[in-house]
Amino acid sequence: MRKKYLISLFIVFPLIVGFIFYSYYFYSPMPAIRHGVLLQPPLDTKNLNMFITNDQRWQIAYVPSVCCNPVCGKELLQLNQLQKELAKNGKPIHLKLVAKQACEVHDSTHIFMEAISMQQVKQFQAALTQPGETTFDMTDKIYIIDSQQKVFVYYSSKDNPTDILHDLRRVLI
C-alpha cells in the first residue's frame, strides 16, 4: 500500500510541476514581451542609416513629437533612470534622443543625440506602416534596438517605464 503512494507520488508530482511550468511564462524558452508592440520581422536600421553605433550595445531611442518640452524632459529623466538600473545589473544600454532638429537637453551626460532628416523619417514611417494603415506616426514612442541594430519592439511614451524595465530584463537575461 505504501509502495503505491510512493510510486504515484513520483509519477503524479512531476506531471503537476511540469504542467505549471508549461502554463506560465517563466518556463518560456524565448523571453516574452508583455507591454510593447512587437515588430515581426524586426526592422533593420542599417539600411535607413538610423540608430547606428560602433559597439554592440542595445539602445533605447526616444523620438519626441516636440523637441524638447517639459514632457520630453520628464520622459528622458525616466529613461535615464531605466538606463542606470540596467547598468547596475551589468547590462549597459545607450540612450538616444532622436529628433528632426537639434535639441537642448539639460542633463545630457548619458544621452546620445541623433538628428534625422525628413527622408529618414519618411523611410522609417514607411517601413513601420502596417498593411491597411495609411501612415505610421513614429513620434512620442520609445524604440528598443538590439545589438544587431534592429528595432524589434516599441512603446508609447505614455507607457509605464517599469513595464519597459521588466520587458528589457526579460530580454537581456
Q: Which domain holds residue 11?
A: 1-30
* Residues 5 and 74 grouped into a single domain: no
Q: Which pTM was predicted? A: 0.71
83 and 21 fall within a common domain: no
pLDDT band at residue 8 using 50, 70 and 90 as cut-offs = confident
Q: Which of 119, 58, 117 is nearest to 86 (CA)?
A: 58
Of 96-105, 113-122, 136-145, which range is least confident?
Answer: 96-105
Number of domains within the chain: 2
Same domain, 70 and 87: yes
**pLDDT tens digit sequence for 59-113:** 888 888 776 667 777 887 888 888 888 888 777 787 877 776 666 655 555 566 6
Residues 77 and 154 grouped into a single domain: yes
Q: Counting beta carbons within 10 angstroms of the beta carbon of residue 64, is it exposed (0 to 12), middle (13 to 18) or buried (19 or more)?
A: buried
For the stretch 12-59, pLDDT in tens is 888 888 888 776 655 455 555 678 888 888 888 777 777 766 777 888
pLDDT at res. 68: 63
Show the beta-strand stretches assigned E in the chain.
37-44, 58-63, 93-99, 111-115, 141-145, 150-156
The answer on 39 and 24 residing in a single domain is no
Find out whether 151 and 23 touch, Cβ atoms under 8 Å: no
Q: Which SS3 state, helix, strand or coil, does residue 34 take?
A: coil
